[in-house]
Amino acid sequence: MPVSPADLDGADRLSAFRDRFVIDDDLVAYLDGNSLGRLPKATQERLAAFVREEWGGRLIRGWSESWVDLPVAVGDELGAALLGAASGQTVIADSTSVNLYKLLHAAAGVRPGRDEIVIDVTNFPTDRYLVESVASARGMTVRWLEPDLVENVTPDVLATALGERTAVVVLSHVDYRSGTLLDLPGLTDAVHAAGGVVVWDLCHSAGVVPIALDAAAVDFAVGCTYKYVNAGPGAPAFAYVAARHLADARQPIAGWWSAADLFAMSDTYETSPTIRRMLSGTPSVSGILAVQEGVRLIAEAGVDAIRAKSEALTAYAIELLDAAGLEIVTPREPGLRGSHVTVRHAEAREVAAGMIERGVVPDFREPDLIRLGLSPLSTSYAEVAAGVAVLVDCAAR
């Protein structure tokens, strides 16, 4: 007899974490944590206390008392818990897109004389658009990879584009549509062997896939915090610059927060020697505090345990979808996928709309994909079973 979702939840060592989130009982299933993660109760309390006591109580004094250090302090916390990054290499600031723009310029600058930026056509729109914009601004050429959506960028596909002109390669660790997880250490090595540097977009892996940036000798990385880090809509993103590139990393939005002495208000600009050089303007304090709460929840559970549950949850969803005969575009090998499972259906838009009407939130991606994002800390097996049952029903109509 198949194992029931209740039994799976009963055996789940992370099941108690679900109570640490605000769960909307009116929803049958929330399967969109890969777009916007649920709200942690601790964050609700932390932000209320911040507004009341710190903003309301300390006003401008808050900056010198603690806020000024938050981008680097919380960057270090996130780097240690989620990225395998030693301190001094990660900041929390701005959006992923803005950080990507800054890091693309910085990355291109550390390989003078090389003039190609390599990216795949399946990458997230913001990555593709920014690569085109930075290449155009710097007189560089974009070299497009055209991988299969599901296999995505394999070492063989990447090898066709690397050469003496390669300056920068931009890759997404987990593909936003298929959920394919790339070989971060192997692809990083391949880029280095060709003499280039790599910028990894970790939006769909940070907090849910173990990442070891220092060990893999990654050069640059960005990622958002509103998906599996649960920091809320528009929460600030992170940017990682390997210590060995810091001295040469120059970014184009060099505002006063990137200067060597923030409050010196100097006539001439001198860039900070530290990772603060990746900052631009005044950061969102409430946003960074929400990131800190999300990081602490992940650190408490442990990324390895989160990954184990992610593999099991996605396997469970695949089993249920297979039983219903639906087409799955996500790799079946657990080591080759992130934490969402994607179904292809000719009427995906209508199916997704029907699911939402029945209290199940997936998301739809043009032209024919439905993604089910499974967040190990807040998604239960019962939720997956209930959500997939509604999907199967809607798809059969």
Ligand X SMILES: Cc1ncc(COP(=O)(O)O)c(C=O)c1O
Among 105, 140, 100, residue whose Cα is nearest residue 123: 100
124 is catalytic: yes
Contact between 126 and ligand X (CB under 6 A)?
A: yes
Among 17, 50, 67, 176, binds ligand 3DJ (CB under 6 A): 176
Please indicate if the annotation marks 63 as binding a ligand: no
Contact between 35 and ligand 3DJ (CB under 6 A)?
A: yes
Quick check: 328 and 318 in contact, CB under 8 A?
yes
Name the segment binding ligand X (CB under 6 A); options: 124-132, 276-284, 307-315, 328-336.
124-132
What does the DSSP assignment read for 143-181?
Answer: EEE---TTT-S-HHHHHTT-STTEEEEEEESB-TTT-BB
Name the segment binding ligand X (CB under 6 A); options: 196-204, 308-316, 347-355, 385-393.
196-204
Contact between 95 and ligand X (CB under 6 A)?
A: yes
Classify burial at 65, counting beta carbons within 10 Å of its beta carbon; exposed 0-12, middle 13-18, buried 19 or more.
exposed
227 is catalytic: yes
What is the Cα 329 distance to its own chain's centre? 20
Please indicate if the annotation marks 342 as binding a ligand: no
Give whichever of 203 and 326 is closer to ligand 3DJ, judged by the CB atom: 203
Kindly identify the residues of this chain, within the stretch 328-367, that bind ligand X according to CB under 6 A.
none
Contact between 154 and ligand X (CB under 6 A)?
A: no
Percent helix / strand / coil, the chain, rounded to 5? 45, 15, 40
32 is catalytic: no
Query: With contacts defined by CB under 6 A, how many residues of the chain interact with ligand 3DJ?
Result: 3
Please indicate if the annotation marks 124 as binding a ligand: yes
Residue in 20, 111, 165, 227 annotated catalytic: 227
Q: Which tokens belong to 341?
A: 């499972």
> How long a stretch of residues is the chain?
397
Please indicate if the annotation marks 125 as binding a ligand: yes
What is the C-alpha separation between 305 and 14, in angstroms, rounded? 8
Binding positions for ligand X, rule: CB under 6 A: 95-97, 124, 126-127, 172, 176, 201, 203-204, 224, 237
Catalytic residues: 124, 201, 226-227, 371
